[in-house]
Structure 1
Amino acid sequence: MATTRNVHSADPVINPDSVSVYARTLEAACRATIRPAGEMMTLSAGAMPVVSGVINTLAKLRPAPRGVEREQVRLNGFRMEIVRPAGARSAMSEGVVMYMHGGGFFLCGLDTHRPVVAAIARRTGMPVVSVEYRQLPDTDISGSVTDCLTAYKWLLGHGVPASRIVFAGDSAGGYMTFATALRARDAGLPVPAGLVGLCPALNLDCTEKRAHPNYHRDSLIPLSALESVVKLGAEVDGRLDPQLSPVNNVLVGLPPALLIVAEDEVLRHDSELMAQRLAASGVPATLEIWRGQVHAFMAIFPSMPESRAALAHVAQFVRERIEAGRVARTA
């Protein structure tokens, strides 16, 4: 799955390899089941906890990931899980990934995303702090960002330098990745060493996504579901504040970013727009577009060949950013 990447360019890098049978099977399954179910579902504040409960219950039936050790931490109103490679002795102060799970701002948590978090921990050799931030309907999207900022402050308060922390997240967690970094910067906190968005949602305004060719191509996400979530979690009196979307913020001062997205997913628009605006702001950005994959493929099926390759790129980026932080602190 090798690709040639330029961390100083926002030009997309297309994965040129053939698509595995696993990826084709996953895409077909999503198109036949999950997308139709999402299109038929009426998403409401009352339905969200029910759907979330079902998904989390199913996630608990999977075997626990091997090769890692876990430790849970409780903060004010939410919990986190520190996932370390088995037998690893390095402290978080040597380098840590803060991971924010996806799930459309109302789904998923520690259980659903433990496999991808464990995969990142094993590949980087570093602890990964998985944040189970509060979601709809218990709080709005801004409240979720507040929890992620609290988690970041917890890391800083425990002696982890910002230069040795990389934020990462998939889908809605990709939103949290960028929104939390922006919130930290605006609060006068140091920004982390790097940002990783895996099929991230970065623009809450769905208008332009409706005009994108992927509006009809996405095999997993019906745009109507995302629009419903935005109405419930971000709009006030039917109006959406543009500044709630990371792509619309001043991006100067953010650290280097890696964006990985599926070629035919509807959120491709978000990553392309963010990559362009990061580059225009002087922020190094890499955009990878992967053929034949579904939204958040690396989080849904981390052991798939394409997922392993994409996560290897993530691990390389994380190690490079942490090492750059070490060099900067000793210079």
Structure 2
Amino acid sequence: MGRTKGAAAPQVVSLAGDKLRVVDKPRHSKRAALLSNALRVSVKPALSVWSYAPGAPWPTGLLESVAGLLPAPRHATVEPVTLPDCDAELIRARSAAHTDTHAMLYLHGGAFLVGGLNTHRGLAARLSATSGCTVLNVGYRMMPEHPVSSAVEDGLAGYRWLLEQGYPPERIVVAGDSAGGYLAFAVTLAILGAGLEAPAGLVAMSPLTDLDPERKLDQPGRPSCALFPRSAWRGFLRLVDLVESELLPDLLQPASSLVDADLRGLPPTLIQVGSDELVLPDAELMASRLARSDVEVELQIWEKQVHVFQVAVDLVPEAREATREVGRFVRRTTSADQRRQAVRRRRAVGSV
């Protein structure tokens, strides 16, 4: 996929007619470089070791436990919510102006294996502030105890819960990062499959969308990802296959490459990804497939940013800028004019 190069200001190129915009974000701060280097010498080697035995009894809950020791987000309220099969929480920034009428369904990352409400509470609070809406942070069921489809069910339950609380679909945005980016797409497709009205928009940060290792790994000349060794990806796929072969009941669908799904009817989408990430091909291919499916999509490629750099919002200036971009996207897609356009798109899709 071709895109522009730049050194100072964001560069924009329109592809696939007027449905896809690719925006290069060339800024690369010293703090971003420091974070990248730190991950290369700490987390990346650990993931390389993990990849040789992904099914071993690793302490996958440790990160979430440690994150639970962090102080609650400043200038935000956190209210626990109980969904049918998992916990969740409502996060409202005190500066958010539309918490009673606008909502974001947030699905955290962590390879369907680690992370949770604690690890992503700070990012969710920041997104509430930039978007002006309530954020429902969902602590969905994870591997190795549950297959990926259970997480999709929990995300769908979160969407139904927001509808029951009076949030209209045209004022809800579904968002997620990494594996949560996969779930943002999968849950929205499940929403359509359940006959529910689609949300107003979709946000995916460093999303996993393609489970085909060849399309991701066999690309000569790609820069090295600061976080994931290539062996970690193959280890992850082995774990998914192991869990689903043991736990997946007949009534649920196995995890699949969402880039190959029928994407028609999805709402306007914002995808953010780093230029050196292992999942950059996922983001580029998903953006192209969305545009071909008549879905409006903006793909932002942030120069040399690490995987889900938005989590480092208190450290990296690009993370703050990226969350502001998310806020602008949410406000735009939930505006009255955008809702009228969405109604026309859904009618057009329904007539096909």
What letter matches 1:289 in structure 2? I
TM-score of the superposed pair, with normalisation by structure 1: 0.90
Decide whether the 8 Å contact of 1:215 with 1:223 is kept in 2.
no
Show the 5 A alignment for 1:86-125.
86=94, 90-92=98-100, 94-125=101-132
Give the structure 1 partner of residue 48 of structure 2: 39
Structure 1 residues not aligned, in runs of 5+: none
Secondary structure of the corresponding residue to residue 334 of structure 2: helix
TM-superposed deviation, 1:299: 1.8
Decide whether the 8 Å contact of 2:225 with 2:278 is kept in 1.
yes
CA deviation digits over 1:230-281, x for unaligned, max 9? Answer: 333256669xx89722111011100010000000011000000001011111
What letter matches 1:157 in structure 2? E
CA deviation digits over 1:9-65, x for unaligned, max 9? Answer: 434211133x111101000001111111110124434424x1x22211221233322
Show the 5 A alignment for 1:195-234.
195-213=202-220, 217-234=224-241
Alpha-carbon separation, structure 2, partners of 1:325 and 1:156: 21
Decide whether the 8 Å contact of 1:214 with 1:265 is kept in 2.
no
Secondary structure of the corresponding residue to residue 217 of structure 1: coil
TM-superposed deviation, 1:157: 2.0
Give the structure 2 partner of residue 28 of structure 1: 37
Report percent identity of matched pairs.
37
Secondary structure of the corresponding residue to residue 34 of structure 2: helix
Aligned pair in 2 of structure 1 residues 85, 2: CA closer, same or farther (>3 Å)? farther
Give the structure 1 partner of residue 25 of structure 2: 15
TM-score of the superposed pair, with normalisation by structure 2: 0.85
Aligned pair in 2 of structure 1 residues 36, 214: CA closer, same or farther (>3 Å)? farther
Aligned pair in 2 of structure 1 residues 281, 90: CA closer, same or farther (>3 Å)? closer
Give the structure 2 partner of residue 291 of structure 1: 303
Superposed CA RMSD: 2.5
Aligned pair in 2 of structure 1 residues 325, 76: CA closer, same or farther (>3 Å)? farther
Alpha-carbon separation, structure 2, partners of 1:126 and 1:318: 9
Give the structure 1 partner of residue 349 of structure 2: none
Decide whether the 8 Å contact of 1:242 with 1:248 is kept in 2.
no
Q: 2:199 aligns with which of 154, 179, 192?
A: 192
Alpha-carbon separation, structure 2, partners of 1:125 and 1:307: 18
Q: 1:270 aligns with which of 282, 288, 291?
A: 282
Tell me how many residue pairs correspond in the alignment.
325
Give the structure 2 partner of residue 56 of structure 1: 64
Decide whether the 8 Å contact of 1:43 with 1:225 is kept in 2.
no
Q: 1:319 aligns with which of 322, 326, 331?
A: 331
What letter matches 2:275 in structure 1? E
1:257 aligns with 2:276: no
CA deviation digits over 1:285-317, x for unaligned, max 9? Answer: 000101121111112445410001111110000
Secondary structure of the corresponding residue to residue 61 of structure 2: helix
Give the structure 1 partner of residue 137 of structure 2: 130
Alpha-carbon separation, structure 2, partners of 1:165 and 1:303: 29
Aligned pair in 2 of structure 1 residues 325, 80: CA closer, same or farther (>3 Å)? farther
